[in-house]
Copies of this chain bind each other. A is one copy, B any other.
Amino acid sequence: MSNNLYYLGIDIGGTSTKYGIVDDNGTLVYKNNTSTLPHDTFDSLFETVWNDIKKQRFTIHSIGIGAPNGNYYSGKIENAPNLKWKGEIDVCRIGKKISEHEVSLTNDANAAAIGEKQFGKAKMMKDFVVITLGTGLGSGFYVNNTLLYGSNGMAGEAGHITIFPGGRLCSCGRKGCLEEYVSAKGIKKTVLEFKHEFHDSVLNQYQEERLNPLLVFEAAQQQDKLALKVFDYTAEILALGLTTIINITAPEAIFLLGGISSAGNQLFIPLQRYMEQYALSIFKNKTLILPSGLEPDTAGILGAAALAKGQHTL
Task: Give the CA-CA distance A160 to B172 in the complex, in Å.
Answer: 25
**Is B162's CB under 8 angstroms from A165's CB?**
no
Identical copies of this chain, number: 2
Contacts of A154 in B (CB 8 A): 250, 282-283, 286
**Is A152's CB under 8 angstroms from B286's CB?**
yes
Interface: A243 (CB within 8 A): yes
Interface: A313 (CB within 8 A): no
Known: A148-B144, A150-B127, A165-B163. A280 touches B248 (CB 8 A): no
Interface: A164 (CB within 8 A): yes
Interface: A27 (CB within 8 A): no
Task: Give the CA-CA distance A6 to B243 in the complex, in Å.
Answer: 40
A61 to chain B, nearest CB (A): 27
Interface: A252 (CB within 8 A): yes
A284 to chain B, nearest CB (A): 11
Interface: A249 (CB within 8 A): yes
Interface: A258 (CB within 8 A): no
A123 to chain B, nearest CB (A): 15
**Is B151's CB under 8 angstroms from A282's CB?**
no
Task: Give the CA-CA distance A141 to B174 in the complex, in Å.
Answer: 25
**Residue of chain B at shortest CB distance from A243:** B162
**Residue of chain B at shortest CB distance from A125:** B151
**Is B69's CB under 8 angstroms from A151's CB?**
no
Contacts of A151 in B (CB 8 A): 125-127, 250-252, 286-287
Please list 9 pairs of residues, one from A and one from B, whose beta carbons are closer than 8 Å in the complex, sorted by A's number.
Answer: A78-B282, A79-B282, A125-B151, A126-B151, A143-B150, A144-B148, A172-B280, A173-B281, A244-B244
